Structure 1
Amino acid sequence: MSPQDIELIHQHPNFIQLVRRKQKLYWSLSLIMLVIYFGFVLLVAFSPSTLGQSLSGGVTTVGMLVGVVIVVLAFALTGFYVYRANNVIDPLNEKLKQECAR
């Protein structure tokens, strides 16, 4: 592939749209995960006694619940990423490959 071909691909509207959608998806999900993790770190740093408090007098603590919530949110965000990649990014990528192969 020549440098001119690569430049034509970079200027293609579908390529520009693909890059923008991927960047938007990556940055937004990364930001959400960072907020979740840093929120947990700040909770540990400034209110460690909160994590050890029992929920309804049982063995389950606030810290366990927060940990479970973080893991569930990580799986949910991963599932959302896979859904968006399969339904938005991959079709756009295939369309771009077909148009540029001509």
Structure 2
Amino acid sequence: MEIERIEGHPVFRRLAFERSCLGRGLAMAMAGAYFAYILTIAFRPGTLGRPVSEGAATTWGIVAGVGLLALGFVLTAIYVAVANTRLDALSRRLREELR
């Protein structure tokens, strides 16, 4: 059957492995940063409640929250860059070899 032929192909296995590793790695990075932020709020709220500088209205918690949002965008950009280069190349190679 066609599905078994594709699943057994070494390029497909490589593509699936690389996509899985990339997705897991980026998800773990985001989850780790998010949980560190949440744990800091839970156990050291004063740390994030401190102003960035003397007399400033902005606290380190706001900076960390914006940093988390920025990290999400950066990780998305990394995924897109890798997917558009490495993963797309593997997909093209797989399609060519399966013709």
- Could you tell me the TM-score, scaled by structure 1's length? 0.91
Match of 1:5 in 2: 2
Structure 1: stretches of 5+ with no match in the other structure: none
The corresponding residue for 1:18 is 15
Indicate the SS of the match to 2:5: helix
Query: Residue in 1 aligned with 2:44?
Result: 47
Q: Matched residue of 1:86: which SS?
A: helix
Match of 2:61 among 54, 63, 66: 63
Letter in 2 for 1:85: A
How many correspondences in the alignment?
Answer: 98
Match of 2:71, SS state, is helix
RMSD of the alignment, in Å?
0.9
2:27 corresponds to 1:30: yes
* Partners of 1:5 and 1:76 in 2: CA distance: 38
Q: SS at 1:59's partner residue?
A: coil
Aligned AA for 1:16? R
Unaligned 5+ residue runs, structure 2? none
* Structure 1 residues 22-51: Cα deviation after superposition (integer angstroms, max 9, x where no partner): 000011011111100100110000011221
Runs (4+) of structure 1 moved beyond 2 Å? none
Amino-acid identity (%): 39
Supply the distance in 2 between the matched residues of 1:23 and 1:76 (Cα, whole angstroms). 18
TM-score, normalisation: structure 2: 0.93
